[in-house]
Structure 1
Amino acid sequence: MNKERNIYLRIFSYAAPYKWIIALSMGASLGVAGSDALIAYLVKPFVDDLIIAGDLALAQLVPFLVVGIATFKGGSRYVQEYYVRIAGQRAIQDIRNALFGHTMQLSMRNYVTTSSGNLMSRILNDVNMMQSVLAEVLITLLRELVTLIVLIGYAFYLDWRMTIFAFVVIPAAVVPAAAIGRQIKKYSRRGQAAMGDLTAVLEQSFSGIKVIKAFGTESQEVNKFVRVNSRYYSFIRRTIRYAAATSPLMEIMTSIGVAFVLWYGLNRVMVGAITPGEMFSLLTAIVLLYTPLKRLTKVNNTIQQALGAAERVFEVLDNAPEVVDAPDAVELIECHGQVTFDRVTFAYEEDPVLRDFSASASPGEVIALVGPSGAGKSTFIGLLNRYYDPQQGSVLIDGIDLRSLTQESLHQHLALVDQETFLFNDTLANNIRYGSPDADMAAVKEAARQAYATDFIDELPDGYDTMIGDRGIRLSGGQRQRICIARAILRAAPILLLDEATSALDTESEAMVQKALTNLMKDRTTFVIAHRLSTIMYADRILVLERGCIVEEGTHQELLGHNGLYSRLYEAQFRN
């Protein structure tokens, strides 16, 4: 119960900035509730004075009263719904912005353990489900609760004995309604989790469409989607089943209440205790108050669904980033490019990937890292980018521990060219200036020239304004890589990280990219990870890693003379 209350409070804390809009809506709710109470009140003179006594003057007023009450109620309902929906939509917008902003701050480990499809589902589907609490539910709660309170007050004022008869059935209806709500919450949460899996399948299928087409596995992917979609349906079907039981339950219980009121009321009329108009007026009030009661029961079902979604959203918001700026973190204003790994030990889980690892690079030096898969090369790049913090030891730039620097200022002095050549569905110019948004067109073109990208850019119909598609799908592998290099050149960062930058290229493209990389590496401290040893033969130093340790270090020629691991790797690669 405390957990649910905390979730309610957290949801409505996002609506707090819009309290005056909600207050205006609440004021309009009084108009809606007052209209229903006025209708119940007017039944008495309508029956006693008009139908029984035949008051013709009153009959002339009836059409005006009907139109007037309907107009006032309709205007009040419009103001109430419009403003509460506006408040709800703004609060939902704030929640979605906060959720996305928080996911951007999460550490890389979180993205390794959580699929992007699952995160997408929480930001889109779960927040949409929460919208029902901050919009639809607020509308119904405000209007129906106020209406219920006003009608109950009027009913007790008119005849408290008959009203008590009407309320006998309410506790009997509340218990099963609450049980239904709990089941709806349980299956709704499971359904939202299944929707996350469904979104993940979609995201992977669309991202990997080339592989799917190449291997002819379309039917396999369709079967996977159908399987996950069926699982989602199984949970939603149970949610629908429980929700569908709510209305019949309330209909039966309210009919029992109305039957009690009629039986007791007719007996009171026969003995002359009340007039027929008073009985029908009270009966109208009872029938009218059952309507908001039934709507509130349905709202409880919606709330339970939204609570399941809210729990998933707040799970993400409560997931604290692993890597954060220290309270006294300083900005790295000027970076010379001195990099030091001092006795670093790091493990993703239990087994260390780097063990008591020490290495250094002087400003402008080119350091290559080679070794078998799993030796710790990419982990080296990740630690220097501060995707993770080491469990032991420290990583330093210009003698300053990375944990003492702000992450933003650190990344301003780093440039990464990754093997995954990620480009955005935007123009070529905007992809090049990504990370340097203030760069003018002349700087963009100069970066492209140094990256040897102008030859194919100039041939495109729209040149630098060409939209390159999702992940740069309209470009070849070598073209994408050169755009990434141009992006790094424009960044002008003193420390450059090249992680298998030519691994996926053919010989011709690799030669072009190598020329671009030569321009990029000029006057920068550069760390190169490469499986193709031909690309790092001219490095100032080569570090040979195995099982998280440096087993050899030297120039290309020195290492060949050692007849160690590097020599074996080189021989295996160039044997033919």
Structure 2
Amino acid sequence: MTSPLRRLLQYTRPHRRDIVLGTTYSILNKFFDVLPEVLIGVAVDVVVNRQDSFLARMGLSSVSMQLLLLGLLTVLIWGGESLFQYLYEVKWRNLAQTIQHGLRMDAYRHVQQLDMNYFENQSTGKLLGILNDDINQMERFLNGGINAIIQVFCSSILVSAVFFVLAPKIALIALLPVPLILYGAFWFQRRLEPRYAVVREAAGVLNGRLNNNLLGIATIKSFAAEEREAEHIEAASNIYREHNRAAIRFSSAITPVIRMAILSGFVATLVYGGMLTLSGELAVGGYSVLVFLTQRLLWPLTGLAEITDLYQRSMASTQRVLNLLETPLHIPYGGQTLSRGTVKGQLQFEGLHFAYGEQAVLDGVEVTVPAGQTVAFVGSTGSGKSTLIKLLLRFYTAQQGRITLDGQDIQQLDLQGLRRAIGYVSQDTFLTDGTVAENIAYGLPEASREQIIAAAQAAEAHAFISQLPQGYDTRVGERGQKLSGGQRQRIALARAVLKDPPILVLDEATSAVDNETEAAIQRSLDHLVVGRTTLMIAHRLSTIRNAHCIYVLEQGRIVEHGTHDQLVAANGSYASLWRLQTGQRDPGNDLGLAAL
């Protein structure tokens, strides 16, 4: 498998120019960073040897002029170092933000295109962890980790060059620990990889539990289950902590090991270089340069511990993000262009078979919906009613059979165009944390305030909206939690009204309202469904009495169909359900009582 770093570098190709600039600034900063130690050696040489110094041999005989030159060079070098530090920090940090933003948006857009089956097998908290925590972890590495690696590499080359120019014998001894240090850093890095992969998985589980509990806080409170849920969070947090401890114990050993390797190189330079200086084989200034540079070369290598730790955390996160991006799309978005204005709305469900895993839900369903007519589906929970709608919206793909719209297989149509032609009001109403007006205009953002109000009036929502603190500009809270269930459902209905789709799908559109509100919504629906193809799913049969055709499903099969009057007269499943809901005595039960 390709390494996470290589996969990340492939992803950053569009930013190659910025990466080159950032690398250049980092190298130049390190070049100027090394020079002060060289100047110290030259200064010592000037003070000790005066007219016989290195600068004097270069033609500058005056000691005061030599010192002034060193002062000027020091200002220029420190200025250059500071300038390029500013440039590389701005470049790398902005690049990290840009890549982080692009990667997060690409991952989010990809997640939105995944089929619903994917979400049924994934924890929401895990996805949030990838889109937020993991990408932030990668950003931390891009912020400073890459620059640190570049600077350690450049520092090693520059200092080694100075060493070999001044004292080749000392260079070999002083630099001997460097390969061992690098080998040790990579050795630790390879063993940290699986540990941090486990840490990120544990973080995803913890995020999932937290997200689930926050969404269900009302239920937790109502069952007085706060302490029990706190114990669940504590257990997940402890697992995360223990996995982190295992990684920390290992990563914490890197610095002490590297420190001892550094010590051997520094002692060798200090002792052996001092002996060469005393014997006259090495100048005092050169000895000063070597002592300072040994520390400048070897001491930053202790940073390899932090870099290795940061790198491995980042790569574990990068692996998860890029794996998410590579999740295949089973329901492609492309297809034949579909203009909403050309849709007539004739639907045909032909021999549909569908199962969620091993659980069969639809078994050869055949339904014809003429354009402009209203068709209703009734049946017990799990009979397949909502699954038909999900297949129409292409949340899933049927294992057998097909659905056609105006004679065209919907699998061949552009997915976005298909969904724009359908107005969907589900029983689980979703509202964004925006204003009432923004939620009504969710499917038509360019709608005017007059259009929004007209849609709300048609959905019998205008009265309660007008009584809200800021009217249509009132924020509804996360998932619309500031509104009642009936209010949320009426806003969802207004959203569908404003969209004005040729096909309308109502999945238990009155499930969360009282009888008075239901009657108001029903009046709206009676006007809304005229002239458009409408599919209704309902447990309250009173809401579908006027449907052109009602289909009764049992265990994924259509067992009855006809108008309301026809089905009541047939005295089958629908008639029994109707009598139950209207409080009429069931003749079948009367016979049973008589027999008793």
Cα separation, partners in 2 of 1:462 and 1:44, compared to 1, 3 Å: closer
- Deviation track 1:413-466 (CA, whole Å, cap 9, x = no partner) reads 101111111111111111111101121111111111111111111222321111
Q: Distance in 1 between matches of 2:431 and 2:34?
A: 62
Contact 2:145 2:311 in 1 (8 A): yes
Q: Distance in 1 between matches of 2:210 and 2:547?
A: 43
- Counterpart residue number, 1:40: 37
> Does residue 187 of structure 2 align to residue 176 of structure 1?
no
- Counterpart residue number, 2:18: 21
Alpha-carbon RMSD: 2.2
* 2:545 maps to amino acid: M
Picking from 2, 5, 9, the partner of 2:6 is: 9
**Alpha-carbon shift at residue 469 of structure 1 (Å):** 1.3
* 1:3 maps to amino acid: T
- Counterpart residue number, 1:272: 280
Contact 2:339 2:417 in 1 (8 A): yes
Picking from 103, 116, 119, the partner of 1:108 is: 116
> Does residue 459 of structure 2 align to residue 435 of structure 1?
no
Q: Distance in 2 between matches of 1:325 and 1:426?
A: 28
Q: Distance in 2 between matches of 1:467 and 1:176?
A: 56
Q: Secondary structure at the match of 2:397?
A: coil
- Counterpart residue number, 2:27: 30
**Alpha-carbon shift at residue 109 of structure 1 (Å):** 1.1
Give 1:226-237 correspondences, 5 Å limit: 226-237=234-245
Q: Which runs of 5+ in 2 are unaligned?
A: 54-62, 585-596
**Alpha-carbon shift at residue 260 of structure 1 (Å):** 2.3
Contact 1:482 1:516 in 2 (8 A): no
Picking from 268, 282, 289, the partner of 2:297 is: 289
Q: Distance in 2 between matches of 1:39 and 1:472?
A: 62
Contact 2:273 2:287 in 1 (8 A): yes
Picking from 105, 111, 132, the partner of 2:140 is: 132
Contact 2:480 2:488 in 1 (8 A): yes
Segment of structure 1 superposing worse, 554-563 or 438-447: 554-563
Segment of structure 1 superposing worse, 528-537 or 316-325: 528-537
Contact 1:367 1:542 in 2 (8 A): yes
Contact 2:160 2:175 in 1 (8 A): no
**Alpha-carbon shift at residue 102 of structure 1 (Å):** 0.9
Q: Secondary structure at the match of 1:461?
A: coil
- Counterpart residue number, 1:563: 571
Contact 2:435 2:475 in 1 (8 A): yes
Contact 1:125 1:192 in 2 (8 A): no
Give 1:107-506 correspondences, 5 Å limit: 107-325=115-333, 329-333=336-340, 334-506=342-514
**Alpha-carbon shift at residue 536 of structure 1 (Å):** 2.0
Contact 1:338 1:397 in 2 (8 A): yes
Contact 1:478 1:513 in 2 (8 A): no
- Deviation track 1:129-184 (CA, whole Å, cap 9, x = no partner) reads 11123221222123332222211222222222211212322333334322322333
Contact 1:368 1:543 in 2 (8 A): yes
**Alpha-carbon shift at residue 523 of structure 1 (Å):** 1.8
Q: Secondary structure at the match of 1:236?
A: helix
Q: Distance in 1 between matches of 2:133 and 2:31?
A: 37
Q: Distance in 2 between matches of 1:144 and 1:178?
A: 14
Q: Secondary structure at the match of 1:345?
A: strand
* 2:8 maps to amino acid: I
Contact 1:15 1:134 in 2 (8 A): no
Contact 1:37 1:154 in 2 (8 A): no
Q: Secondary structure at the match of 1:526?
A: strand
Contact 1:375 1:546 in 2 (8 A): yes
- Counterpart residue number, 2:593: none
**Alpha-carbon shift at residue 572 of structure 1 (Å):** 4.2
Q: Distance in 1 between matches of 2:144 and 2:33?
A: 20
- Counterpart residue number, 2:541: 533
Q: Secondary structure at the match of 1:340?
A: strand
**Alpha-carbon shift at residue 515 of structure 1 (Å):** 2.2
Contact 1:338 1:361 in 2 (8 A): yes
* 1:37 maps to amino acid: V
Q: Secondary structure at the match of 1:292?
A: helix
**Alpha-carbon shift at residue 240 of structure 1 (Å):** 2.7
Segment of structure 1 superposing worse, 258-267 or 60-69: 60-69
Give the TM-score taking structure 2 as reference length: 0.91
Q: Distance in 2 between matches of 1:21 and 1:318?
A: 26
Q: Secondary structure at the match of 2:401?
A: strand
Q: Which runs of 5+ in 1 are unaligned?
A: none
**Alpha-carbon shift at residue 244 of structure 1 (Å):** 2.2
Contact 1:132 1:303 in 2 (8 A): no
**Alpha-carbon shift at residue 386 of structure 1 (Å):** 0.8
- Counterpart residue number, 2:591: none
- Deviation track 1:57-86 (CA, whole Å, cap 9, x = no partner) reads 245655555444333322221112111211
Contact 1:542 1:555 in 2 (8 A): yes
Q: Distance in 2 between matches of 1:568 and 1:160?
A: 100
Segment of structure 1 superposing worse, 470-479 or 55-64: 55-64
Contact 1:117 1:199 in 2 (8 A): yes
Contact 1:332 1:405 in 2 (8 A): no
Q: Distance in 2 between matches of 1:156 and 1:564?
A: 98
Q: Distance in 2 between matches of 1:198 and 1:226?
A: 9
Q: Distance in 1 between matches of 2:275 and 2:48?
A: 21
Contact 1:14 1:94 in 2 (8 A): no
- Counterpart residue number, 2:587: none
Q: Distance in 1 between matches of 2:314 and 2:292?
A: 33
Q: Distance in 2 between matches of 1:513 and 1:506?
A: 10
Contact 1:85 1:139 in 2 (8 A): no
* 1:251 maps to amino acid: R
**Alpha-carbon shift at residue 508 of structure 1 (Å):** 2.5
Q: Distance in 2 between matches of 1:371 and 1:313?
A: 42
Q: Distance in 2 between matches of 1:525 and 1:123?
A: 39
Question: How many corresponding residue pairs?
Answer: 572
> Does residue 82 of structure 2 align to residue 74 of structure 1?
yes
- Deviation track 1:297-338 (CA, whole Å, cap 9, x = no partner) reads 431221111110011101110111211145x53324511110
Q: Distance in 1 between matches of 2:211 and 2:25?
A: 44
- Deviation track 1:229-270 (CA, whole Å, cap 9, x = no partner) reads 222222222333333222222111100111223333233334
**Alpha-carbon shift at residue 94 of structure 1 (Å):** 0.9
